[in-house]
Amino acid sequence: MTHADSPAGSGPPARRAGVRRLSGTAAPPPRGTAWSRARLGTEVRYLAASIRGRLRGRDLALIAAGLTFYAAIAVVPLLLVAIRLTGALVGADEVSRLTGRLAGLLPEQLGAPGVVRDLVDAGLGMDLFGLLLALLPLSLYGEGLRRALLRFSGSRDTLTGWRGRLLALPLVVVTPLLLYPLLLAAAGMADLTDRAGAGPAVGRFALGYYSVLFVLTVPLVWGYRVVAADRLRWPALVCGSLFTAACLSGFLQGFVLFLSLPLDLGAPFGGLTAVGAAVALGLWLFLLHLVLLGGWLATQALDDRLAARRDGWIGV
């Protein structure tokens, strides 16, 4: 253990608040070292070693699969509630118009545009009782997220399920402020689709990618900061959430591309296309949650690194 720039009389590293000791990893450069290609490589190796240390003894795929189960229960109620609240905010006609533009962007394979229209009709038609009922399955995702993130934490928790559910519910209130900008971005993408050339194509991709990126950052910050049992510091939290949102946005763009491929999803399931489509959707949800959990591990590692740099302690 080395001690860099520590004030006189400070205690041993194990007693310093906010610094998790990580054995067996490469030591990051001490505070004050100038940035260079070598230092950048050292920092990246240290963060990678920190992530590997957190994965030791834990089955990432199994944890992601468990979180995907919760997501499968919550995703449709979440979309319905978001559509209903957005309709209450900007008007049902506006939501129908914009979602119609969104449906026009989706490939016809697997009936994706029709699914979107049915989802919007069901959401806009929900009454208050249906809205309240939807909150129960919707809140289960908060429970699943808290349980999954706890698997990579040394924190002790009680009433994990109820804490996760209740802490996730406030995010529902802001769903119209997240969904409406996405619908506006989809309308802009539809306008660009009507134009020929490379410029509109690049603009359409950039508009879709960055709009999803910034919208996803809000629930990620809430999930990593509030729903999770750990309390990460804001610099690492913002950087980690933006990085994770960028990766998730890229995967969602890939999912839209996947829908456009001429694949017979029912072939492995005796020609049952509906079964194949459900399995494919579950697989993509699983991959998205692998990315989400990877982002959490990277954010934790960055938080520890920044804490060690601030306090002047270096774990070796």
Residue 293 belongs to some domain of the structure = yes
Residue 303 belongs to some domain of the structure = yes
Domain that holds residue 163: 58-314
Residue 4 belongs to some domain of the structure = no
Residue 200 has pLDDT above 80, yes or no: yes
Contact between 181 and 98 under an 8 Å Cβ cutoff? The reply is no
Helix intervals (H) in the chain: 37-55, 60-90, 92-105, 112-124, 128-150, 160-168, 170-173, 175-193, 198-222, 234-260, 273-311
User: What band does 296 get if pLDDT is binned at 50, 70 and 90?
Assistant: very high
Residue 58 has pLDDT above 80, yes or no: yes
- Count CA atoms closer than 13 A to 165's CA, side-chain side: 13
CA-nearest of 247, 289, 250 to 149 is 289
Residue 219 belongs to some domain of the structure = yes
Residue 23 belongs to some domain of the structure = no
How large is the average pLDDT for residues 279-301?
95
The pLDDT score that the predictor gives to residue 17 is: 39
Model confidence over 90-125: pLDDT tens digits? Answer: 999 999 999 999 888 887 776 788 889 999 999 999
Residue 67 belongs to some domain of the structure = yes
The pLDDT score that the predictor gives to residue 199 is: 86
Pairwise CA distance, residues 55 & 59, whole Å: 7
Residue 2 belongs to some domain of the structure = no
pTM for the full model? 0.85
Pairwise CA distance, residues 131 & 138, whole Å: 10
Residue 14 belongs to some domain of the structure = no
How large is the average pLDDT for residues 285-307?
93
Instruction: Provide the domain count of the chain.
Output: 1
